[in-house]
């Protein structure tokens, strides 16, 4: 591999990792089933949270958040490297997610849009600095064709309904529940509950034969109790198999904003850029 190719690959990895960090900002995430960090209680539960059942805590989000706009900052560490990025996450129910990542001075480096449901999801992912764009349509069980695409797809998956089927407690693991993975087109989906809040989430996507499991874990803290539906203000994500971790700080959340529908219109297939 040439030095240029290595640099491009490294840059793409960074973008992927940063975009993964954003996924957590939605109050979602993904990781592999392996050594997930111990379940941690939220730093401060919102009033009334500790009185509700675990299932209520898991399912409360379904239907409670119609649309969302979040501004965030992320610090991502991979090996001995660290980088900072800012971004904005837009969610529009029932199945549209858009995320944009910026350099600290404001230039857009990643723009992803996913729209779909349990039967099929379509996405347009653009990396302007690398002159790369992807147009993808996935059905259940199909592996993600490129890690750059998969990262933002995790966002979409985590935004999907948690309780289409009742959560099932994981045997011998108090506070951990398996979710129906179908709505998120996932192979496996799991959450952990503590103090009446979802404190950890796991989503595992189908992988190509022989490929490592496509999974990311996220831990949530500092729920914002001023919101109608409390969402975490701090998220730590880790992907041990991929060797990176990210810290995401939510700077601002706008609940149910009026978002322009054109933000969620997929560009025509073959068009270079995601809708903007």
Partner 1 sequence: MSDERLTIAALALVASVAGAARLAQPVANVAAAESPAGAGDSSPGAAGASGRATAARCGSPEACFARISAMQRDVRAIRADFRQVKRIALLRDPLVSTGTLEFRAPDHVRWEVVTPEPLVVEIDGGSLRAGEPGNVAKVEQEGALAVFRDLGEIFTATGNYAKRFAIQAGAGDASFVLVPRDPQIARVLSAVELTFDPANGVPRRVALREASGDRTEIDLDVREVERGAPGGRAG
CA 95 – CA 159 distance, rounded (Å):
8
Which of 52/71 has CB closer to partner 1? Answer: 71
> Residue 30 CB, nearest distance to partner 1 (Å)?
22
Beta-carbon-side half-sphere exposure of residue 114 (alpha carbons within 13 Å): 26
Is residue 84 a contact point for partner 1 (CB under 8 A)? yes
Which of 38/106 has CB closer to partner 1? Answer: 106
Which of 52/83 has CB closer to partner 1? Answer: 83
> Residue 57 CB, nearest distance to partner 1 (Å)?
28
Is residue 276 a contact point for partner 1 (CB under 8 A)? yes
Q: Give φ, ψ of 105 to 5 degrees.
A: -95, 10
Q: How many residues interact with partner 1 (rule CB under 8 A)?
A: 46
> Are the beta carbons of 108 and 101 closer than 8 angstroms?
yes
Quick one: CA dihedral 12, 16, 17, 18, positive or negative?
A: positive
CA 24 – CA 214 distance, rounded (Å):
15
Is residue 249 a contact point for partner 1 (CB under 8 A)? yes
CA 106 – CA 94 distance, rounded (Å):
29
Out of 50, 108, 133, 169, which residue is the one contacting partner 1 (CB under 8 A)? Answer: 108
Is residue 229 a contact point for partner 1 (CB under 8 A)? no
> Residue 116 CB, nearest distance to partner 1 (Å)?
20
> Residue 200 CB, nearest distance to partner 1 (Å)?
24
Residue 183 Cα distances to 90, 96, 165, 203, angstroms: 19, 13, 10, 12
Bridge pairing between strands 108-116 and 132-138? unpaired
Is residue 257 a contact point for partner 1 (CB under 8 A)? yes
Is residue 132 a contact point for partner 1 (CB under 8 A)? no
> Residue 1 CB, nearest distance to partner 1 (Å)?
16
CA 127 – CA 109 distance, rounded (Å):
6
Comparing C-alpha atoms, which of 135, 137, 153, 148 is closest to residue 205? 153
DSSP string covering 168-188: EEPTT-TTEEE---GGGT-SE
Given the rule CB under 8 A, which of 3-11, 152-160, 177-185, 206-214 is the region that contacts partner 1? 3-11
Out of 38, 258, 268, 270, which residue is the one contacting partner 1 (CB under 8 A)? Answer: 258
Out of 38, 105, 226, 268, which residue is the one contacting partner 1 (CB under 8 A)? Answer: 105
* DSSP H helical ranges for 3-134: 3-25, 54-59
Which of 195/276 has CB closer to partner 1? Answer: 276
> Residue 108 CB, nearest distance to partner 1 (Å)?
5
Is residue 227 a contact point for partner 1 (CB under 8 A)? no
Given the rule CB under 8 A, which of 107-115, 171-179, 191-199, 238-246 is the region that contacts partner 1? 107-115
């Amino acid at each position: 591999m040439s030095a240029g190719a290595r640099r491009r690959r490294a840059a793409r990895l960074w973008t992927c990792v940063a975009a993964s960090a954003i996924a957590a900002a939605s109050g979602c995430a993904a990781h592999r089933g392996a050594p997930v960090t111990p379940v941690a209680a939220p730093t401060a539960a919102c009033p009334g949270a500790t009185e509700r059942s675990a299932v209520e805590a898991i399912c409360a989000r379904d239907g409670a958040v119609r649309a969302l706009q979040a501004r965030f900052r992320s610090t991502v560490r991979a090996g001995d490297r660290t980088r900072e990025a800012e971004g904005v996450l837009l969610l529009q129910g029932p199945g549209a997610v858009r995320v944009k990542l910026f350099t600290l001075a404001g230039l857009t480096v990643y723009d992803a849009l996913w729209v779909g449901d349990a039967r099929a999801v379509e996405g347009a992912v653009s990396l302007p600095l690398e002159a790369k764009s992807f147009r993808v349509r996935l059905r259940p069980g199909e592996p993600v064709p490129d890690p750059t695409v998969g990262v933002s797809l995790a966002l979409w998956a985590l935004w999907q309904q948690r309780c289409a089927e009742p959560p099932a407690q994981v045997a011998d693991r108090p506070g951990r529940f398996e979710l129906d993975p179908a709505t998120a087109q996932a192979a496996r989906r799991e959450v952990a509950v503590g103090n009446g809040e979802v404190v950890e989430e796991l989503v595992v996507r189908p992988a190509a034969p022989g490929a490592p499991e496509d999974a990311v874990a996220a831990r949530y803290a500092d729920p914002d109790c001023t919101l109608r539906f409390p969402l975490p203000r701090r998220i730590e994500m880790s992907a041990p198999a991929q060797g990176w971790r990210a810290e995401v700080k939510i700077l601002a959340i706008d609940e149910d904003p009026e978002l322009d529908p054109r933000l969620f219109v997929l560009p025509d297939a073959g068009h270079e850029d995601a809708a903007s």
